[in-house]
Structures are given as structure tokens and as C-alpha cells.
């Protein structure tokens, strides 16, 4: 009887020890960090992921980035976008089709503040190559005739394209529909491609059983879950007057925090600064009182497109747009040094000492 008792106790102690050991081993595994730097889409991507599956997941992420870059690049002659810009009739790949659909919806929703058909004008300014110049006003007027997202086809049939079942010269799957841009029009998905890529990477990491990760895609931050210890990620928002400093920090989990700013790509000529976010109405850099716009929301592609569009809209229209849309929050920095933060970030935004956040409310009379 006594011996039976002793045996029982020994077995229990053993089970407890194994459980404790397994528990601390699992905890250590969860804290394991893997990170990868990738040069893509003309910028640096840094992906940091935690847990035992993160190493393999990151290798897949790198492939995913390369695959998406090959589809969206304007400079790679074989990309879907480059082929469309050459006037070819193509059946866009799945991701190009999806991103085009998302981008066109955002162009519409923002009433053309975002316009993916701006590419001929961006080229003229040299923002695509770094050979900057201020274009002639007449040249811009001439090119503006080719800028209008409403004229872009939504992956629709082309009478001579491979999608038409009556076209006997089908070279591609006749179920698919070909797409061709109107003559002279060219597109650039640069305002939304990184956000879309971020969404794909988050999806990829999730499906590889990773539950904690942070992506910095050239300043676009997207986070998966929380930090491994369960606390929120703390994402710094840059000071557009001095990008080495920050205006504050937002605490988030499962969110995208995406900034468009005049400081990211610009040149100076005759004492004037010209930046890479253009007003599709005029063809000139948008100067409507904003220096940077940070959008916080669930989907990278939407936050990316909106940050560019809200920058173009300017302070007042951006605030009005936000009031009409419950799906995102934002942080605006104006050229005269004001910091405007929407009410949904009241608990998560911590302002740096030298800044003073003014909160904006949905109901404009609430203060
Ligand atoms: P970044 O790529 O610097 O992070 P954005 O997401 O704001 O910043 O995208 C800016 C890019 O989008 C520009 O480099 C240009 O290629 C393109 N672009 C500029 N203005 C517009 C606009 N009004 N609509 C659509 N695309 C734009
Ligand atoms: Mg953008």
C-alpha cells in the first residue's frame, strides 16, 4: 500500500516536471524572433516574425514579395502593369486583377484624389526615375488629357482580345477576359502596391501559423496580432519636419499604420520643394495644407490608398471624408505645424513632448 502511494507521488511529480518543462520550452519558442530584409518596390522591407514557425514563413514571404513585385512593377518590362502600359491586351494575373479592382474602388471613393492613371505625369516630373524636372505647364495640360481613372477598363472584354469567344485567334484561356488601356493612358499602382503586399504577407504568415509579426514596408507598418508578450505593438509616427524624430506613437494590434508624406520623395528647384504626391486635377504636387497623413485601419491596401488620397484632399476635405467613413482613423500634420488626431485614437496615441495633439470628433460640435 505504502509503495503504491510512493509510486503515485513519483509519477505525479514527473508529470508536473514534464509539463513545466514543456510550458517553458513553448514559451521560449514563442519568443523566438526571425527577421528578414528585402529590397523591393524601390525601398527596403523589414519583416520580423515570432514563434517556432516564423523562420519557414519568412522564406515564403520573400518569395511572395518577389512574385508581387514582378506583377506590379512599372519598370520590369514583363510585368502586367508594364504590358498594359505598352498598350497590350492582356489577361491580368490574379493579384494584378485584385489590386486593380481595389485601386479603382478607392479612386472612385475618393472622387479622383487617388488616380492610378497619373503615370504619364509622374514620368514627366521624373519621379519614376529620379531625373527630376519641373515640366512645362503646356506639357502638363497635354498629358492631363490622358489622366482619368473613369476611363480605365475594369478587366473588361476587348473585342479583339483573347477573352472574346468569337475571336478564333484566342491565345489565352477563352474563359478569361482580356484587358487593354485606352490609347495613351498608363497606370501606376505605386500608391497602393505596398499596402496590398502587406495584406498578402500578413495572410501568408497567418496561414503558416505565425501569430505575432511586424512588417515595415518602406515606412508602411503592418502588424499581425500583438507582441509575443501579449502587449500592443508601439508604432512611431515620423515628424515630417524632421523625419529622424517622431510626433508620437500609436499602440495597435492587427492593424496597418500607413503614412504618406511630402518628405518621402522630393526635389528642390529655385528654392521651391516639389514632392511626389500629385494632384490629379492639376498635375502639380498637391499643396493643400498637409505635410503628412497617417492612416490607421484594418487593411493595408485601403490605408495606403487613403493616405495618398487624403494628402491630396487637404485638411478640410480629409476631415470631412473621415467623418463620412467609419472604417479608419488618421493623424494629420499640417504645414503650419498642427497635429490633428481623430477621436478613435484617443486611447492609443501618445504624443511626443514637443507636440500638442488636437482631437477631431465625428460630431463636429462635440469638444
Ligand atoms: P510612398 O510610396 O512614398 O510610401 P504613397 O503611398 O503616398 O507614398 O504613394 C506615392 C506614390 O503614388 C508616388 O510615388 C506616385 O507613384 C503615386 N502617386 C502620386 N500621387 C498620386 C495620386 N494622386 N494618385 C495615385 N497615385 C499617386
Ligand atoms: Mg499610399
Running DSSP on this structure, what letter comes out for residue 366? -
The C-alpha atoms of residue 133 and residue 267 are separated, in whole angstroms, by 9
CA dihedral angle for residue 74, residue 76, residue 79, residue 81, rounded to 10 degrees:
10
Return the ligand 1 atom nearest residue 114 CA: 24
Of 271, 214, 244, 240, nearest to 339 by C-alpha is 240
Residue 216 Cβ < 6 Å to ligand 1: no
What would the DSSP string read from start to end of 282-324?
Answer: TSSBP-SSEEEEEEEES-HHHHHHHHHHHHHH-HHHHHHHHHT
How far is the centre of ligand 1, averaged over its atoms, from the C-alpha of 33 (Å)?
32
Residue nearest to atom 4 of ligand 1 (CA): 260
The C-alpha atoms of residue 192 and residue 302 are separated, in whole angstroms, by 8
Pocket test for ligand 1, best of 122, 190, 300 (most atoms within 8 A of CB): 190
The C-alpha atoms of residue 32 and residue 56 are separated, in whole angstroms, by 13
The C-alpha atoms of residue 347 and residue 281 are separated, in whole angstroms, by 37
pLDDT of residue 31: 78
- Record the cell numbers describing residue 50, joined without a space: 515570432
pLDDT of residue 11: 87
Residue 260 Cβ < 6 Å to ligand 1: yes
User: What are the distances in angstroms from CA 263 to CA 109, 123, 175, 204?
Assistant: 26, 19, 46, 31
User: What are the distances in angstroms from CA 152 to CA 107, 121, 131, 184?
Assistant: 11, 16, 28, 11
Ligand nearest to the CA of 104: 1
pTM above 0.85, yes or no: yes
- Record the cell numbers describing residue 265, joined without a space: 520623395
Residue 280 Cβ < 6 Å to ligand 1: yes
Residue nearest to atom 3 of ligand 1 (CA): 264
Of 51, 154, 57, nearest to 99 by C-alpha is 154
Locus of grid cell 501569430: 211
The C-alpha atoms of residue 152 and residue 145 are separated, in whole angstroms, by 13
The C-alpha atoms of residue 127 and residue 145 are separated, in whole angstroms, by 19
Residue 118 Cβ < 6 Å to ligand 1: yes
pLDDT of residue 158: 43
Across the chain, which has 367 residues, the per-10-residue mean pLDDT values are 80 86 76 94 96 97 97 94 96 96 97 98 93 95 97 62 43 65 96 98 98 96 97 97 96 98 86 94 96 98 98 97 94 97 98 96 74
pLDDT of residue 154: 72
CA dihedral angle for residue 238, residue 244, residue 245, residue 247, rounded to 10 degrees:
-10
Return the ligand 1 atom nearest residue 308 CA: 7
Q: Give the list of residues 6+ apart from residue 256 with CB closer than 8 angstroms, or none.
A: 195, 198, 199, 220, 221, 222, 223, 295, 296, 297, 298, 299, 300, 302, 303, 304
How far is the centre of ligand 2, averaged over its atoms, from the C-alpha of 300 (Å)?
9
How far is the centre of ligand 2, averaged over its atoms, from the C-alpha of 302 (Å)?
9
Pocket test for ligand 1, best of 261, 276, 281 (most atoms within 8 A of CB): 276
pLDDT of residue 338: 97
Asked whether the beta carbons of 307 and 265 are under 8 A apart, the reply is no
The C-alpha atoms of residue 186 and residue 217 are separated, in whole angstroms, by 25
The C-alpha atoms of residue 142 and residue 197 are separated, in whole angstroms, by 33
Amino acid at each position: 500500500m505504502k509503495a503504491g502511494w510512493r509510486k503515485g507521488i513519483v509519477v505525479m511529480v514527473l508529470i508536473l516536471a514534464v509539463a513545466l518543462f514543456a510550458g517553458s520550452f513553448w514559451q521560449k519558442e514563442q519568443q523566438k524572433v526571425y527577421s528578414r530584409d528585402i529590397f523591393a518596390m524601390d525601398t527596403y522591407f523589414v519583416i520580423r516574425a515570432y514563434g517556432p514557425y516564423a523562420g519557414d514563413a519568412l522564406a515564403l514571404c520573400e518569395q511572395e514579395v518577389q512574385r508581387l513585385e514582378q506583377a506590379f512593377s512599372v519598370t520590369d518590362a514583363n510585368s502586367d502593369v508594364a504590358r498594359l502600359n505598352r498598350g497590350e491586351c492582356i489577361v491580368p494575373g490574379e493579384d494584378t486583377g485584385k489590386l486593380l479592382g481595389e485601386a479603382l474602388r478607392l479612386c472612385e471613393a475618393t472622387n479622383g484624389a487617388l488616380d492610378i492613371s497619373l503615370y504619364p505625369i509622374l514620368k514627366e516630373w521624373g519621379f519614376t526615375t529620379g531625373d527630376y524636372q519641373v515640366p512645362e505647364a503646356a506639357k502638363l495640360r497635354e498629358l492631363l488629357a490622358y489622366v482619368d481613372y473613369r476611363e480605365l477598363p475594369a478587366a473588361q472584354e476587348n473585342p479583339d482580345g483573347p477573352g472574346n469567344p468569337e475571336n478564333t485567334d484566342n491565345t489565352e484561356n477563352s474563359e478569361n477576359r482580356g484587358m487593354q488601356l485606352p490609347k495613351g493612358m498608363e497606370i501606376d499602382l505605386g500608391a497602393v502596391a505596398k499596402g496590398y503586399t502587406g495584406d498578402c504577407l500578413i495572410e501568408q504568415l497567418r496561414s503558416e501559423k505565425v501569430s505575432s509579426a511586424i512588417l515595415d514596408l518602406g515606412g508602411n507598418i503592418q502588424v499581425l496580432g500583438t507582441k509575443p508578450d501579449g502587449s500592443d505593438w508601439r508604432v512611431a509616427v515620423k515628424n515630417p519636419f524632421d523625419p529622424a524624430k517622431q510626433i508620437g506613437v500609436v499602440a495597435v494590434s492587427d492593424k496597418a499604420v500607413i503614412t504618406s508624406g511630402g518628405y518621402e520623395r522630393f526635389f528642390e528647384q529655385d528654392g521651391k520643394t516639389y514632392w511626389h504626391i500629385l494632384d490629379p486635377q492639376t498635375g502639380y504636387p498637391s499643396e493643400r495644407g498637409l505635410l503628412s497623413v497617417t492612416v490607421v485601419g484594418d487593411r493595408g491596401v485601403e490605408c495606403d490608398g487613403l493616405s495618398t488620397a487624403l494628402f491630396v484632399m487637404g485638411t478640410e476635405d480629409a476631415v470631412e471624408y473621415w467623418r463620412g467613413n467609419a472604417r479608419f482613423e488618421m493623424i494629420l500634420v499640417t504645414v503650419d505645424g498642427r497635429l490633428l488626431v481623430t477621436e478613435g485614437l484617443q486611447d492609443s496615441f501618445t504624443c511626443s513632448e514637443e507636440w500638442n495633439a488636437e482631437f477631431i470628433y465625428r460630431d463636429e460640435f462635440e469638444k
